A and B are shown apart, each in its own frame.
Chain A
Amino acid sequence: MENPYKFIEAEIIDVKDETPTIKTFVLKPKERISFKTGEFMEVAIPGFGEGPFTPSSNPKDDTKLEFTIMDVGRVTGALHRMKTGGVVGLRGPYGKGYPLGEFKGKEILIVGGGVGLAPIRSLIYALFNQLDNYKKIYLKYGAKTPPDIMYKDEVDRWSKDGRSDVKLTVDAGDAKWKGNVGLVTTILEDLKIDLNKSVSVVCGPPIMMKFVTFKLLEIGYKPEDIYLSMEKNMSCGIGKCGHCRIGNSYACKDGPVFSYKTIKDYPNIWD
């Protein structure tokens, strides 16, 4: 019998600084691991601790995996202190990723906040892999300040690519910033999207997800067309430990991506 609590070792082959608090780790697992965009994995520092993270790399490449991780505490802090050549453990991939089948032929509005751009980068790669399937990609991304904007080169590239429409905002600008200042909801005004042929994807801190969801509903998105990445405390990742429960489902098995419709009637989903 397979031991679901055991991890596969992976070597850190590169570490990139994204922002003062966010780094991307490029990992080469000892066994090949493939994932679908939006699925997550448990990343462990052997003998120290483990946490759930979503690969931010292109799902087409199964020779390496990238994770973009914000330093917020114990495990993430220790990960940030690790260097090329270090070894971590990986379990997964787990959960259900983005339902790309449902996105076919539609315009896709992606709304991200902070480190929430990590899973979104993998999604954008996946969409670009087969762009003929989708009409257009709109990315609306909000960061705290201009230095907190992640993946600057890629965001630049996506902005110049005619197949995507990118708009950024920061909560507080600086002398050099010429773009929008305000919460991400402020760049959701005057969308030129046919709502009947569109889905929206939201990933960011819980409070941002709440306000963006309400905004999208106000704009006219149907609850079944709003996809949310729910951040919950997760330990096992496989529907056993109980930690990640949202109403009558587990975020690790039935999510972490949920349509708003499937969870909206459960109590206190935003807390």
Chain B
Amino acid sequence: MAREYYVINSENFRTFLLNLSKERDVYAPAKKNDFISYEKFDPEYEEKYIPDQIRASEPIKSFLTHSREKVDTFPPAGRGHNKQILVGVKNCDITSLAIQDFVFKDNDPKDPFYIKMREDTTIISCDCNLLRETCFCVALDITPYPEKGFDLNLSKEADDFIVEVGSEKGRNLIAENRDLFSKADETQIKNRSAKRESFKNSLKSQAQEKETPDKKSITGSIKKSYAVGDIWNHFASTCIECGGCNHCCPACHCFGLSDQKKDNIKARYKSWDACLYNSYARVAGGANPRRHLYERLRNRFDKKFEFFPDVLGIFGCTGCGRCIEACPGKIDIREVLKKIVQGK
């Protein structure tokens, strides 16, 4: 299918969001101190939303599963949800959907809670254009712009956005607002390619400077690391077992079911879990196959760089760098991979 491109200027884009927000919940990235995080679109503050630049603090999974949700009945009793549109999603998050979809949508038995949220979500992604110290997608062969997995994609071009159509859902949104868009011309699309290439190169240089290992050298390295003495103990020495790296990770999908009773009402919850927690793998009578913290830290890498390549053919890491920023123990996933690949 030939790709379809449009152009929208910044003023029309705000009208577009306003129109979309009339029938759906629209979430867009907004600046908060040094970070960007999602806020529900409010036309009164339309100028604070930044679709481009870099990923938001929240991983996209937080819009598709809840950190804690009641799962006694489907559809969930009492609490419905609106259709939602996520604006400014970056490719590291889009790529992570392959993992979440694999777990909750594509494998039987399916998770109806996830599938419903996924179906009711429209993704308007955006190319990245701000270099952040923690981004390393390109080292893992992930581009800082999406080529699939979106409904519409935005590429910032001066004061305009070049809009690429990625799905029927996206095409319909344009059709509903056709007068806000004009057709893109060849030059604009060529400019987009040049911009993408140049931004990708700046990420490449950053990865080179930091000696972040590439996909090929990471492949198979975790398995080998089991035989290397104190390597994981060394990294785990500053870990405080907070689970932050798990929760902020767009690819981490683990959860636990729990049963609770309050005022004689019984309920079952599904809550995000973290493999760094001591309780995660514990079995009967307190025995624990990963009783040491270093084993749990290693497990996280094993799942991402051994398990997922084997079962799905992709890493369970997309280079978004959120865990680097979240970790109070200053454990940098790139540094860990570097040392593991070097075998010391």
Contact = CB atoms under 8 A, between A and B. Distances in A.
A241 B281 contact: no
Given A73-B285, A240-B253, 8 more contacts: A44-B259, A49-B259, A70-B284, A232-B281, A233-B283, A241-B255, A243-B273, A267-B302
Interface string A161-198: 00000000000000000000000000000000000000
A206 B275 CA distance: 21
B289 A271 contact: yes
9 contacts: A2-B110, A3-B112, A4-B110, A5-B270, A50-B259, A233-B282, A238-B109, A241-B254, A241-B255
Nearest to A206: B287
Given A232-B283, A233-B282, A241 B261 contact: no
**Chain B CB within 10 Å, residue with most, of A47, A70, A206:** A47
Interface string A18-49: 00000000000000000000000000111111
Contacts of A271: 289-290, 295
A242 B303 contact: yes
Contacts of A240: 103-104, 107, 111, 253, 255
Contacts of A241: 254-257, 273
Contacts of B258: 49
Nearest to B309: A248
Nearest to B109: A4
A72 B283 CA distance: 10
Contacts of B107: 239-240
A46 B302 CA distance: 34
Contacts of B226: 267-268
Main secondary structure of the interface of A (DSSP, over half): loop
Given A235-B255, A267-B226, A3 B307 contact: no
A47 B266 contact: yes
Contacts of B109: 2, 4, 238
Interface string B85-115: 0000000000000000001100101111001
Contacts of B282: 233
A108 interface: no
A47 B289 contact: no
B50 interface: no
B73 interface: yes
B71 A243 contact: no
A212 interface: no
Contacts of A5: 71-72, 257, 268, 270
**Chain A CB within 10 Å, residue with most, of B275, B287, B295:** B287
Given A231-B283, A240-B103, A50 B257 contact: yes
Contacts of A46: 259, 266
B63 interface: no
**Chain B CB within 10 Å, residue with most, of A2, A206, A235:** A235
B260 A47 contact: yes
Contacts of B266: 46-47
A241 B74 CA distance: 18
Interface in A70-103: 70, 72-73, 76
A1 B115 contact: yes
B81 interface: no
B16 interface: no
A243 B267 CA distance: 21
A44 B257 CA distance: 11
A45 B259 contact: yes
A73 to B, nearest CB: 6
Interface string B261-279: 1000011101001010000
Contacts of A267: 223, 226, 302
B127 interface: no
A245 interface: yes
A118 interface: no
A236 interface: yes
**Chain A CB within 10 Å, residue with most, of B73, B255, B295:** B255
Given A1-B74, A248-B311, A236 B289 contact: no
A6 B289 contact: no
Nearest to B287: A206
Nearest to A270: B289
Contact of A232 (B115, B260, B286, B289): B289
A94 B270 CA distance: 19
**Chain B CB within 10 Å, residue with most, of A5, A47, A248:** A5
